[in-house]
Chain A
Amino acid sequence: MPSLSPDLQNLLYIIASVFFVFGIKMLGKPESARNGNAVSALGMLIAIITALLSEQIIHWQWIVVGLAAGSIIGALAARLVAMTAMPEMVALFNGFGGIASLLVGWAEFQKIYSAGGLMSASYYQIFIILLTVLIGGVTFSGSLIAWGKLSGTVPSRPIQYRGQRIVNGILVLLIIGFFIVLTGRLDFTGLENYTHFVVIAALALLFGVLFVIPIGGGDMPVVISLLNSYSGMAACAAGFVINNNVLIVSGALVGSSGIILTTIMCKAMNRSLTNVLFSGFGSVSASAQGEGFQGEAKAISVDDAYYVLEAAKNILIVPGYGMAVAQAQHAVQELATLLEKNDAEVNFAIHPVAGRMPGHMNVLLAEANVPYEKLKEMDDVNPQIGNVDVAVVIGANDVVNPAARTVESSPIYGMPVINVDKARTVIVLKRSLNPGFAGIDNPLFFNENTRMLFGDAKATVQGLVAEFKN
């Protein structure tokens, strides 16, 4: 088959880029989001076909193997993953993008190496290859750890040790050192150079691991957004390696969108990115905060909770990560429908960082068929929260902690929260009185108007549903 001229290739790559831009734009509106995704997929198809037609292909069997294996694995994973497991799936896909960019950089290095001095490389070329390997490597191993923390394979609490900063500092210096040494060479014939290259790749992978392990599970929305951004930057760097504009454009789009999401998540927690990445938030033991909140939490039974809800006319449901863990979203939806049949107004209040990734709760409730208009953002809910008869908190903790407003010594002081304590009655569904991931006491549980409904969220909600059906 004749290969495309370079001009025609570039033209097609530009068309693909335009499709990506429109795709992302459409993804930002609920009505057009699904089509936007399709438009962007079409852009990807154009880019892939262009790449395949750019040169004569001798080793087509390997291309077919890669494409077939990747498609089968990708399609199965996308189809089989449970909606509650979406954060770890996204983390894993991010990581695969990162390792692919690393391998592209490595293959390019291999090309120069194998040419044995016949092919000249510039300083710039080596620099950009190493940069690709570095960003791709950090994205890959960082995402794997994030995946592990989200799926429970790795403990989700922050892992900290003495001298952590020193170790990280030494690692960064090592990477910079190897980077400079290798960039300074233009002849890559020796095995020594190859070893250096592999060492840099290994250090990048190690750095990704060390970068994510000190971050607690509850801060994962920030980490996933950031790694998403990195995967874009890795693709972008790979674009510089192979001089390809479509990689640069789409990599930059993803890179900047990831940064924006990261910023939104940080703002929602009233913390800086540096604080999220380095503070080991959540390792603070409860004793470190001093007094702690003493008092007696008032428990309530499913029966009594039913009577409270039955009498309520305005109900606000506040879901959190606990709802995802208990897979309670369908039961919650059923309860909401029954409450509405009982002439109550039911709304859902979604905190921006509820769950383990941006928009996590929205996806789960959408899966359970909760109408889109019922999901309210925090800023819309808070001004009217005094009119709420019963606020039902399901598996959420820090995002409804009034200490964020009142207790200056609290680690989450200043974080915007959903002010459920201002509702007439609060029912908190929780497994125990244990503090949330951050180990922060929640005075809400001891409030006069709070009732604790202990137990597995799903079982409890199903219990309430059964009461209503009788």
Chain B
Amino acid sequence: MDIRLVFILVLATFLGFELISKVPSQLHTPLMSGSNAISGITIVGALLSLVGSFSVEGNVMRIILGTMAVTFATINVVGGYLVTDRMLRMFVKKEKK
């Protein structure tokens, strides 16, 4: 096990707490759906399970799992960012008035 990964985890968690702690309640929903889109980062893991050269024989299950993972993660990413943008567009529109 690579201990440096734990190091990264701890630092990133603290960073997360620092970044979010002072968000006005008006932005709670966009913040939540925006961070939800970021959790779609698991798409990288999904893609990595499908790249590389391996044969189809004996790996059918792996391809099925990988394709499903890519699909779900993509819904999370694309849907998450677009819906957040749609909400924030409504907020911004009013700022200009």
Residue with the greatest number of chain B CB neighbours at <10 A, chosen from A23, A28, A83, A108? A28
A23 touches B28 (CB 8 A): no
Find residues 24-53 in chain A having any chain B CB closer than 8 Å to their own CB: 24-25, 27-31, 33-34, 36-38, 40-41, 44, 47-48, 50-52
Find residues 54-97 in chain B having any chain A CB closer than 8 Å to their own CB: 54, 56, 58-59, 61-63, 65-95, 97
Q: Which of A48, A107, A252, A367 contacts B90 (CB 8 A)?
A: A367
B51 touches A56 (CB 8 A): yes
Chain B: CB-nearest residue to A235:
B42
B69 touches A236 (CB 8 A): no
> Which of A181-189, A254-262, A270-278, A391-399 makes up part of the contact surface?
A254-262
Alpha-carbon gap, A62 to B30, bound state (A): 32
Alpha-carbon gap, A47 to B73, bound state (A): 13
A256 touches B20 (CB 8 A): yes
A30 touches B66 (CB 8 A): no
B70 touches A122 (CB 8 A): no
Q: Which of A51, A241, A255, A372 contacts B51 (CB 8 A)?
A: A51
A106 touches B74 (CB 8 A): no
CB B52 to nearest CB in A, in angstroms, measures 5
Alpha-carbon gap, A246 to B48, bound state (A): 13
A255 touches B86 (CB 8 A): no
Chain A: CB-nearest residue to B68:
A103
Alpha-carbon gap, A358 to B23, bound state (A): 12
Known: A65-B67, A106-B65. A34 touches B46 (CB 8 A): no
B25 touches A28 (CB 8 A): no
**A407 interface residue per 8 A CB criterion:** no
B42 touches A238 (CB 8 A): yes
> Which of A212-220, A226-234, A417-425, A456-464 makes up part of the contact surface?
A226-234
Q: Which of B30, B54, B59, B66 contacts A33 (CB 8 A)?
A: B30
Give 1 or 0 for each of A70-111: 1 = CB within 8 Å of chain B CB: 110111011101010010011001101101110110111011
Known: A244-B45, A362-B29, A363-B87. A235 touches B39 (CB 8 A): yes
Residue with the greatest number of chain A CB neighbours at <10 A, chosen from B8, B45, B61? B45
Chain A residues within 8 Å of B, Cβ to Cβ = 20-21, 23-25, 27-31, 33-34, 36-38, 40-41, 44, 47-48, 50-52, 54-59, 62-63, 65-67, 69-71, 73-75, 77-79, 81, 83, 86, 89-90, 93-94, 96-97, 99-101, 103-104, 106-108, 110-111, 114, 122, 124, 224-225, 228, 231-232, 234-236, 238-261, 264, 350, 352, 357-360, 362-363, 366-367, 369-372, 375, 377
25 A-B pairs in the complex with CB atoms less than 8 angstroms apart: A20-B41, A33-B88, A37-B34, A37-B81, A37-B84, A66-B46, A66-B66, A66-B70, A74-B78, A78-B78, A96-B72, A97-B40, A108-B49, A124-B1, A239-B5, A239-B45, A245-B5, A247-B41, A251-B39, A256-B12, A350-B25, A359-B26, A359-B28, A362-B26, A363-B87
